[in-house]
Amino acid sequence: MPLAVLYSRAIAGMEAPLVTVEVHIANGLPGFTIVGLPEAEVKESKDRVRAALQNTRFEFPSRRITVNLAPADLPKESGRFDLPIALGILAATGQIPSDKLGLYEWAGELALTGELRAIRGALAMTYGAARSGRSFVLPEQNAAEAALVRGAAVYPATSLLQICAHLAGREPLQLYSLHPAKDTGAGAGGNGESALRYPGMEEVKGQAQAKRALEIAAAGCHSLLMIGPPGTGKSMLAARLPGILPAMTEEEALESAAMQSLGSGGFRAASWKQRPYRSPHHTASGVALVGGGSNPRPGEISLAVNGVLFLDELPEFDRKVLEVLREPLESGRITISRAARQAEFPARFQLVAAMNPCLCGYLGHFSGKCRCTPDQVARYRGKISGPLLDRIDIQIEVPAPPEEDLMRQAQGESSETIRQRVETAYQRQLERQGKANAHLAVKDIDKYCIPDKAGENLLRQAISRLNLSARAYHRILKVARTIADLAANPEISGAHIAEAVQYRKMDRS
């Protein structure tokens, strides 16, 4: 029959709608047309498919080939349609049997040699395939990611020839069955391994207050800003944060994996159940940060979902770029609207940022070498808007450590010791309210963050003296809740409130 019908999937936001690939071979002048809103990568598929078929010793028909990707109004991008198009041509010309084609969904980019290359969004596509009851054939590199979907039948393949041998019944493809948790050995121990892979906190000398703030931030998923002169260890501390983060739940891990799978970097099985840690450079554009494109893709804030987004040298970021963070920081989601389409991505990330106190960087340094005028300092700090600062729970100074701290050989606590305390405090929050303290809504705060008498008095004073906004007030209560959780204290006391108020550095200066 000169017609073959196969199934594949497109990517639209987080969804993977079904695409029917119809290949028709007709007599007439030789030609190769792809219709159904193909974008540039899909149009280029013609050349890849032709070369791949010829290089694997199949016959490329010198007839009129029409490929229709339905539904016609859904834009199709990426090279993942190479595989179904190639198989469709082979089936329509009778070079492979077509009886079993409809049992599977296909996706894979073809190399000119006929090998299969990894694709983007395999996780979302496998979800779709599993729901429709079909098995999914895809490049081997994507198998671990696709197998995260429970109940999905995934057949990894390395080349077009291997798939043809499978369809011809000569050498069946093997069902991929290993759950990646077993595969990588990372499942059972949570991110216990991560502390080994990330640089250790024990390397940081002195900076006891900053380490304490980092521990609180990790325990309650609080956003954190570190301000200090050059070379005091701000970037160093931030790089050690992933090593002390609490383990992820299965659900969180799946959500993060789905985002990674949609991003250009792809998902790696080794990062399963590891909290993402993203640190975009300050030249990043707004679209790179929040996501976008005509076919919307997730940005850094979505790739960092359930993990950390670290913005080093915060004032160097374009002010407009930073402002786009305001909305997702509150809502934990980002909706990207383009003329043709809308996509919503999760964006519940923990913001960690570092900055110098002024342009020269040495304001407040013991050397006294800062010559910045108050006006210059104000202008420098003004690069970060008040509303953004207001959204940061913990703001601390990281001063130059005293010489004796630097000279001391004795090592501080290891990341693993800190991580265990963080984990205990985090579990306490999950048991009490089912989420981290930083994610408490206003009505939850009234329920779970009630200070005792002394705490209440202290808080009242702080609000009037520091002119705190309602948001800052709620944030102090949430941070105090985490401090109490770290101390295994069911009550929020005056000492906890006092420590939390200390962490509003920018409200005071």
Residue 451 binding result from Mg ion, ligand ATP, none, given CB thresholds of 5 to 8 Å by partner type: none
What separation in angstroms does the CA of 379 have from each of 81, 232, 269, 372, 384?
52, 23, 45, 11, 9
* Residue 236 sits in the site that holds ligand ATP (CB under 6 A): yes
Q: Cα(51)–Cα(85) distance, rounded to whole angstroms?
A: 13
Compare residues 408 and 460 and give the one whose CB is closer to ligand ATP: 408
Residue 444: count of CB within 10 angstroms of its CB: 17
Q: Cα(359)–Cα(363) distance, rounded to whole angstroms?
A: 9
Task: Give the residue at shortest CB distance from ligand ATP.
Answer: 233
- Among positions 430-489, residues that touch ligand ATP (CB under 6 A) are none
Q: Minimum distance from CB of 233 to ligand ATP (Å)?
A: 3
387 CA to centre of own chain: 24
Residue 401 binding result from Mg ion, ligand ATP, none, given CB thresholds of 5 to 8 Å by partner type: ligand ATP
Single out the residue of 102, 231, 293, 387 in contact with ligand ATP (rule: CB under 6 A): 231
* Residue 370 sits in the site that holds ligand ATP (CB under 6 A): no
* Residue 401 sits in the site that holds ligand ATP (CB under 6 A): yes
Compare residues 55 and 235 and give the one whose CB is closer to Mg ion: 235
What phi and psi, each to the nearest 5 degrees, are found at residue 503?
A: -85, 20
Single out the residue of 108, 233, 243, 276 in contact with ligand ATP (rule: CB under 6 A): 233
Are the beta carbons of 104 and 136 closer than 8 angstroms?
Answer: yes
Q: Cα(448)–Cα(157) distance, rounded to whole angstroms?
A: 52
* Residue 230 sits in the site that holds ligand ATP (CB under 6 A): yes
Single out the residue of 78, 159, 356, 429 in contact with ligand ATP (rule: CB under 6 A): 356
Q: Minimum distance from CB of 70 to ligand ATP (Å)?
A: 53
Residue 409: count of CB within 10 angstroms of its CB: 5
Compare residues 84 and 357 and give the one whose CB is closer to ligand ATP: 357
What separation in angstroms does the CA of 255 have from each of 236, 301, 366?
28, 13, 46
Q: Minimum distance from CB of 506 to ligand ATP (Å)?
A: 17
* Residue 315 sits in the site that holds ligand ATP (CB under 6 A): no
Q: Minimum distance from CB of 430 to Mg ion (Å)?
A: 33
Q: Minimum distance from CB of 358 to ligand ATP (Å)?
A: 11
Size of interface with ligand ATP, in residues (CB under 6 A)? 15
Binding segment for Mg ion (CB under 5 A), chosen from 232-240, 250-258, 438-446, 501-509, is 232-240
Binding segment for ligand ATP (CB under 6 A), chosen from 39-47, 90-98, 135-143, 229-237, is 229-237
Q: Cα(427)–Cα(440) distance, rounded to whole angstroms?
A: 15
Size of interface with Mg ion, in residues (CB under 5 A)? 1
- Taking alpha carbons only, the member of 355, 271, 285, 354 closest to residue 318 is 285
Can you spell out the DSSP letters for 191-257? TTTHHHHSPPGGGS-S-HHHHHHHHHHHHHT--EEEE--TTSSHHHHHHTGGGGPPPPPHHHHHHHH
* Residue 17 sits in the site that holds ligand ATP (CB under 6 A): no
- Taking alpha carbons only, the member of 264, 273, 315 closest to residue 291 is 264
Q: Cα(381)–Cα(359) distance, rounded to whole angstroms?
A: 9
Q: Minimum distance from CB of 282 to ligand ATP (Å)?
A: 11
- Taking alpha carbons only, the member of 61, 70, 48 closest to residue 160 is 48
Are the beta carbons of 114 and 161 closer than 8 angstroms?
Answer: yes
Buried b (16+ CB within 10 A) or exposed e, 257-289: bbbbbbbeebbebebbbbbbbbebeeeeebebb
Compare residues 66 and 235 and give the one whose CB is closer to Mg ion: 235
- Taking alpha carbons only, the member of 306, 291, 209 closest to residue 249 is 306
* Residue 279 sits in the site that holds Mg ion (CB under 5 A): no
For ligand ATP, what does the binding mask look like between residues 185 and 224, x meaning CB under 6 A? -------------------xxxx-----------------
Residue 402 binding result from ligand ATP, Mg ion, none, given CB thresholds of 5 to 8 Å by partner type: none
Compare residues 232 and 350 and give the one whose CB is closer to ligand ATP: 232
3-class SS of residue 341 = coil
* Residue 235 sits in the site that holds Mg ion (CB under 5 A): yes
Binding footprint of Mg ion on the chain (CB under 5 A):
235
Binding footprint of ligand ATP on the chain (CB under 6 A):
204-207, 228, 230-236, 354, 356, 401
